[in-house]
């Protein structure tokens, strides 16, 4: 038997297998089968066609299509989805005659958006089947309906390379009707018969069939007959002549001819090669099956926006005594902000962005690169240096109450040229009345030699009494471009890094800049490590600093995922953030997505019991995560537009802000608060003690608290 029957779960119209395949002989099912390669490669033969699938590629095998698998790659990992067509029939009555087609031949073809959407649907179904949450069966069926219409609209066999048909429903329906009639009557059909049914001339119909299917009428009929004959060759003991007659050939020699054209061997040779008894057939299967849940690590990228992925109903209990003291919180993270190239601060938009950052967070130093560069009007071989651009930058920083921290970089300069430029710089700026050279700090870049360092140290100390503070001698930060910088992952990463180290994060910049990115896919989010993108939209990373800046100067308690602080004026702050063991170092976008699924970052519930609050309290909460306040996730929800019109830009500006809620609580022995973190994000709770006023209750003739 080569027809295989699928045992679906009792309440579901889909069965999913996770396996590694070396060989699986010719067989067929009454199912719609989708093969999804996660790792390695797999050769898929469907009827007389063969395709090689690589990691992240898919193939659709239609109902009753004979197919086989083989691979020399023994480490491949494959997901196989079998979908019951009778389920689809409830929503699309002609599903038995529908053929779906994917492009498995052209390199990069499956990078298109319609393939990514299909992967996302399949991964959500897999996620639900693995996790078995409440209502998982309804979610699976709902997603399967979405899969059905996505297949019809994007992978209809007649629409391949024919965009004009998408807008011509009448013509598409006619082509489908004609093809269906041929497929269902291949053993006894004529061109004239179909022409009469469609009220078309035979010549015109022949042309239309060629256009719609890529085959002439005769070739299409003969290919269909050959493909149907395969099942009779393998599943019956019928003679070759009987099979030839059964599928519609007028003579066995025509059957032999067309079969050989497609399979390169005769029907008899094919039968001898492939027809085996049941025992041998089973032995030919070389497949290793794995636990379905183990496949999740390969597909978490497609689940990053799926709310139900890795749902946890765990409650984290935290007991807080507001009279406790752990240590001081000095907010050293506000010491330095990397603003990138000095030249970028000559651009008005960037100046506006930095001013907005400074108004809310107040950094002390602006880390500047390439002050000594041609972009700033400083040329290596010049005997005179014009510092007008630098003055403009430094005066703007002074206006923001920021001081320059300059990375000394001698790229393109000889040692003598760089010392000359430094002399010129110091002599110029010590006489600028609007600036104080004593406020300037300097740091070496990695490319400055030890010899040049010694010369600079001598110049600064002996001639100008300027010291290079060792506190600022760090490596010049390398600019990393990765989409993770645009995501809400940056909120807990920054908060966790600062709470544990309370130090400057060199990889984070003030604003996005278009440097030398050549692989741009849009002009909104392109993976630059800025707090604000170049449209002026605040990214999730911005709100990590925004929330941290609201913390007090005394740490009451802290642990993984939270910190509690207070001020001297009766205000307390509790900052909760998503945490997992691997968030201590910066991840790329792919690793971040994997962590989101495997490290319980989907949903965390907190129960806070707070004691030693001595008054009534006003409580303000700030919530920002993948669903609230994340401009990046909102942009994804908009369909990832490559460019923004005015209205879309305004929407993203408004979307990029935390959700703020207010609560009033009367004095109690224990204040209980509950909070929920969804995905990557954070929530800040600010508790402000308010004085209890006395009012006279005339009905009771006594004073009461209000």
DSSP H/E element including 486: none
What pLDDT is attached to residue 175?
76
The pLDDT of residue 597 is above 50: no
Spatial distance between the Cα atoms of 214 and 216, rounded to a whole number of angstroms: 7
Spatial distance between the Cα atoms of 387 and 222, rounded to a whole number of angstroms: 81
Find the mean pLDDT for residues 265-272.
93
Q: How confident is the model at residue 160 (pLDDT cuts 50, 70, 90)?
A: low
The burial class, CB within 10 Å (0-12 / 13-18 / 19+), for 494 is buried
Spatial distance between the Cα atoms of 688 and 570, rounded to a whole number of angstroms: 6
What pLDDT is attached to residue 591?
64
The burial class, CB within 10 Å (0-12 / 13-18 / 19+), for 495 is buried
Taking Cα atoms as reference points, which of 622, 604, 635, 675 lies closest to residue 487? 635
The burial class, CB within 10 Å (0-12 / 13-18 / 19+), for 518 is exposed
pLDDT tens digits, residue range 541-587? Answer: 999 999 999 999 999 999 999 999 999 888 999 999 998 766 777 77
DSSP H/E element including 339: strand 336-341
- The answer to whether 617 and 687 have CB atoms below 8 angstroms apart is yes
**Close Cβ partners of 120 (under 8 Å, ≥ 6 residues apart):** 302, 303
As a whole number of angstroms, the longest Cα–Cα distance in the chain is 115
Tokens encoding 44: 């898929």
pLDDT tens digits, residue range 82-117? Answer: 999 999 999 988 887 888 989 988 888 898 889 999
The pLDDT of residue 533 is above 80: yes
What pLDDT is attached to residue 434?
92
- The answer to whether 658 and 696 have CB atoms below 8 angstroms apart is no
DSSP H/E element including 492: helix 490-501
| SS3 category, 10 | coil
Spatial distance between the Cα atoms of 46 and 170, rounded to a whole number of angstroms: 30
User: What share of the chain in percent tops pLDDT 90?
Assistant: 57
DSSP state of 476: P
Mean pLDDT of the chain: 87
| CATH 2.60.120.10 applies to domain 3-155+282-289 | yes
Spatial distance between the Cα atoms of 216 and 191, rounded to a whole number of angstroms: 10
The pLDDT of residue 151 is above 50: yes
Strands 702-705 and 694-697: antiparallel
CATH fold for the domain made of 163-264: Arc Repressor Mutant, subunit A (1.10.10)
DSSP state of 679: S
pLDDT tens digits, residue range 382-415? Answer: 999 999 999 999 999 999 999 999 999 998 999 9
Using CA atoms, how far residue 162 sits from 149, 168, 211, in Å, is 18, 11, 9
Q: What angle do CA 72, 75, 79 make, to 5 degrees?
A: 100
Tokens encoding 622: 């700030």
The pLDDT of residue 16 is above 80: yes
Find the mean pLDDT for residues 619-631.
94
What pLDDT is attached to residue 211?
80
**Close Cβ partners of 512 (under 8 Å, ≥ 6 residues apart):** 526, 528, 530, 532, 533, 534
Q: How confident is the model at residue 598 (pLDDT cuts 50, 70, 90)?
A: very low
Taking Cα atoms as reference points, which of 522, 626, 560 lies closest to residue 305? 626
What pLDDT is attached to residue 600?
44
Q: How confident is the model at residue 540 (pLDDT cuts 50, 70, 90)?
A: very high
The burial class, CB within 10 Å (0-12 / 13-18 / 19+), for 627 is middle
Tokens encoding 683: 């929530």
Q: Domain extents for the chain?
A: 3-155+282-289, 163-264, 315-331+479-690, 371-408+410-472
Find the mean pLDDT for residues 237-256.
92
Find the mean pLDDT for residues 216-235.
90
End-to-end CA distance of the chain: 84
CATH architecture for the domain at 315-331+479-690: Sandwich (2.60)
Give me the torsion for CA of 552, 553, 556, 562, rounded to 10°.
Answer: 60
Spatial distance between the Cα atoms of 172 and 503, rounded to a whole number of angstroms: 63
Find the mean pLDDT for residues 521-532.
90
Cβ–Cβ contacts within 10 Å for residue 705, how many? 11
What pLDDT is attached to residue 692?
62
**Phi first, then psi: what are they for 113, rounded to 5°?**
-60, -35
Find the mean pLDDT for residues 456-468.
75
The pLDDT of residue 477 is above 70: no
DSSP state of 65: -
| SS3 category, 207 | helix
């Amino acid at each position: 038997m080569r027809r295989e029957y699928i045992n679906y779960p009792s309440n579901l119209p889909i069965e999913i297998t996770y396996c590694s395949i070396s060989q699986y002989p010719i067989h067929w099912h009454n199912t719609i089968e989708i093969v999804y390669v996660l790792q390695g490669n797999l050769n898929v033969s469907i009827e007389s066609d063969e395709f090689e699938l690589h990691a992240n590629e898919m193939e659709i095998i239609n109902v009753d299509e004979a197919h086989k698998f083989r691979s020399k790659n023994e480490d491949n990992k494959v997901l196989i989805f079998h979908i019951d067509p009778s389920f689809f029939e409830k929503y699309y009555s002609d599903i038995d005659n529908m053929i779906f087609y994917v492009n498995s031949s052209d390199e990069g073809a499956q990078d298109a958006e319609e393939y990514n959407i299909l992967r996302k649907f399949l991964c959500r179904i897999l996620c639900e089947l693995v996790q078995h949450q409440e209502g998982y069966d309804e979610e699976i069926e709902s997603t399967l309906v979405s899969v059905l219409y996505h297949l019809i609209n994007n992978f209809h066999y007649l629409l391949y390379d024919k965009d004009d048909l998408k807008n011509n429903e009448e013509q598409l329906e006619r082509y489908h009707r004609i093809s269906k009639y041929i497929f269902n009557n291949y053993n006894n059909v004529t061109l004239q018969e179909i022409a009469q049914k469609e009220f078309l001339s035979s010549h015109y119909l022949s042309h239309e069939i060629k256009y719609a299917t890529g085959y002439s009428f005769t070739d299409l009929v003969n290919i269909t007959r050959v493909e149907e004959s395969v099942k009779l060759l393998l599943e019956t003991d019928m003679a070759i002549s009987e099979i030839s007659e059964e599928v519609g050939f007028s003579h066995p020699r025509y059957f032999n001819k067309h079969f050989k054209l497609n399979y390169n061997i005769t029907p008899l040779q094919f039968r001898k090669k492939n027809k085996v008894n049941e025992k041998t057939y089973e032995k030919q299967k070389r497949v290793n099956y794995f636990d379905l849940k183990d496949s999740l690590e390969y597909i978490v990228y497609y689940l990053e926006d799926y709310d139900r992925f890795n749902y946890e109903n765990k409650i984290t209990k935290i007991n807080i005594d507001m009279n406790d003291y752990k240590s001081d919180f000095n907010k050293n993270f506000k010491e330095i902000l990397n603003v990138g190239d000095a030249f970028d601060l000559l651009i008005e938009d960037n100046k506006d962005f930095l001013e907005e950052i400074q108004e809310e967070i107040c950094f002390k130093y602006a880390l500047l690169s390439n002050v000594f560069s041609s972009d700033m009007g400083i040329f290596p071989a010049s005997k005179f240096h014009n510092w007008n651009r630098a003055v403009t930058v430094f005066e703007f920083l002074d206006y923001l109450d920021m001081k320059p921290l300059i990375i000394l970089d001698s790229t393109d300069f000889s040692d003598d040229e760089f010392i000359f430029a430094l002399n010129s710089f110091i002599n110029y700026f010590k006489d600028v009345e609007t600036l104080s050279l004593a406020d300037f700090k300097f740091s070496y870049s990695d490319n400055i030699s030890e010899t040049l360092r010694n010369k600079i140290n001598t110049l600064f100390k002996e001639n100008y009494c300027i010291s290079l503070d060792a506190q600022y001698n760090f490596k010049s930060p390398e600019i990393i471009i990765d989409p993770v910088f645009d995501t809400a992952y940056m909120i807990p990463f920054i908060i966790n890094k600062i709470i544990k180290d309370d130090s400057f994060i060199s990889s984070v910049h003030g604003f996005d800049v278009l440097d030398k990115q050549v692989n741009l896919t849009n002009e909104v989010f392109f993976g630059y490590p800025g707090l604000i993108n170049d449209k002026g939209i605040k990214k999730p990373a911005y709100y990590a600093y925004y929330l941290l800046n609201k913390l007090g100067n005394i740490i009451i308690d802290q642990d993984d995922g939270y910190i509690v602080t207070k001020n001297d004026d009766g205000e307390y702050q509790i900052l909760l953030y998503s945490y997992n063991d691997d968030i201590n170092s910066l991840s790329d976008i792919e690793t971040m997505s994997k962590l989101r699924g495997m490290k319980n970052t989907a949903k965390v519930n907190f129960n806070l019991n707070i004691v030693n609050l001595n008054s009534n309290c006003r409580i303000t909460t700030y919530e920002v995560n993948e669903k609230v306040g994340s401009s990046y996730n909102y942009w994804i929800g908009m369909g990832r537009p490559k460019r923004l019109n005015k209205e879309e830009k305004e929407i993203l500006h408004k979307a990029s802000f935390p959700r703020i809620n207010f609560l009033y609580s009367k004095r109690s022995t224990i204040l209980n608060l509950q909070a929920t973190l969804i995905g990557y994000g954070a929530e800040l709770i600010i508790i402000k003690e308010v004085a209890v006023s006395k009012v006279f209750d005339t009905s009771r003739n006594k004073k009461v608290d209000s």
